[in-house]
Amino acid sequence: MALWDIMGKAAERPVHALLGGAVHDRIGYHGFAMGADAAEIAAEAGRLAANGLDVIYIKGGRGLEEDVETVARVREAIGPRARLRIDPNESWSPLAARQAIARMAPHDLEFVEQPCNCESIPALAQIRAVSTVGIAADQWVFTPFEAFEVCRSGAADLIVIGPHETGGLAGMAALARVAEAAGLNICIRGLYETGITACAAHQLAATCPNLDDGNQNMIAFLEWDIIARPDRRPKQGSLAVLTAPGLGFELDPDAVARVAELHRRSGPATAG
C-alpha cells in the first residue's frame, strides 16, 4: 500500500487512476447497528436509517430465537424501504441456516453473510441452494483461486473482500475481476483499520464495476486515527471518490508521534 501511495504521489495522480481509472463518483457504505440485545440493536438501526443510511447491517450468532427477534425488531425500526443484512459470523450449520433464513425471510432480509464455517464451500453452496435470500461469502475468499471456487460452486451471490486478507490492492483487484467474470458483486470488508487502509480500499473500490453499494467501514469504532484528513466516516451512506495524489490521505504528525511513543513503551517483543 505504501508503494502505491508513493507511485501516485510521484505521478501526481490518485491511485485509482493507476489501477485503471474510477468508474464511480461515490462509494456507498452500510450502517452497522450494534447493541447488547435486540432492543438496543433495533434502536441503533432506527437512528442510522433516520440519518440517511439505507443499507443496515447487523451481527447474528446469538442463538436462533434472539437472531430472529433482532431481525424482526430491526425491520420494524428501519421501515420497509431500507435494506437489511445479517452476519452470523459462521455460527450456523446448514440445518440451522435453513431454519433461520425461513423465519427471517418474511422481514425482507437482503442477504446473509457467511452463515456457516468459512472453510466449507460445499456447506455454503448447500445453504445457498435452498435459501430464499442472498448469500455472501466472507472470511475464506483471500485469493483469485478461492474466488473462482466460490463462483464455480455457486456458493454465493456476493463476495466480501478487503486489501488486508487479499494481500494488498493488486490482489484485491484480481479477486474482484474473477467475481465480475462470474457476474457477482464484491463488497469491501471493514477490518480493524486505520484511515490509511480505509483510503486504500476506497481507491480500489472506485475502479470496480461490480462494486456493491453497501460496503463496510469500521472507522466509526476508532477512538482516534493517524490521518488528519479526509474524514472517512460516511455521510448519509456514501463517500466521494478521492482525488488527491496517492492514496489520498494526510497523516496527523501528532497522532503518528503518539503511536511511536505507544510502540516504544510496549518494548521489544520477547520469545515465549
What residue spans define the domains of the chain? 2-266
C-alpha cell at 155: 456458493
CB pairs under 8 A, 24+ apart, for 208-211?
208/23, 208/173, 208/176, 208/180, 209/23, 209/180, 210/176, 210/179, 210/180, 210/184, 210/185, 210/186, 211/24, 211/27, 211/176, 211/185, 211/186, 211/187
Alpha carbon 258 to chain centroid, angstroms? 28
d(CA 248, CA 245): 6
- Upstream peptide bond of 253 is cis (omega within 30 degrees of 0): no
DSSP symbols for the chain: -HHHHHHHHHHTSBHHHHTT----SEEEB-EE---SSHHHHHHHHHHHHHTT--EEEEE--S-HHHHHHHHHHHHHHHTTTSEEEEE-TT---HHHHHHHHHHHGGG-EEEEE--S-TT-HHHHHHHHHH-SSEEEE-SS--SHHHHHHHHHTT--SEEEE-TTTTTSHHHHHHHHHHHHHTT-EEEEPP-S--HHHHHHHHHHHTT-TTB-SSB---GGG-S--SEEES--S-BTTEEEPP-SSBTS-EE-HHHHHHHHHHHHHH------
Max distance between CA atoms of the chain, in angstroms, equals: 55
Rounded Cα gap, residues 103 and 107, in angstroms: 8
pLDDT in tens, 226-241: 999 998 888 888 999 9
How many residues belong to the chain?
Answer: 272
> What CATH code is assigned to 2-266?
3.20.20.120
Output the tens digit of pLDDT for each of the chain's 272 residues.
999 999 999 999 999 999 999 999 999 999 999 999 999 999 999 999 999 999 999 999 999 999 999 999 999 999 999 999 999 999 999 999 999 999 999 999 999 999 999 999 999 999 999 999 999 999 889 999 999 999 999 999 999 999 988 999 999 999 999 999 999 999 998 877 889 999 999 999 999 999 999 998 888 788 899 999 998 888 888 999 999 999 999 999 999 999 999 999 987 655 44
Give the pTM.
0.90
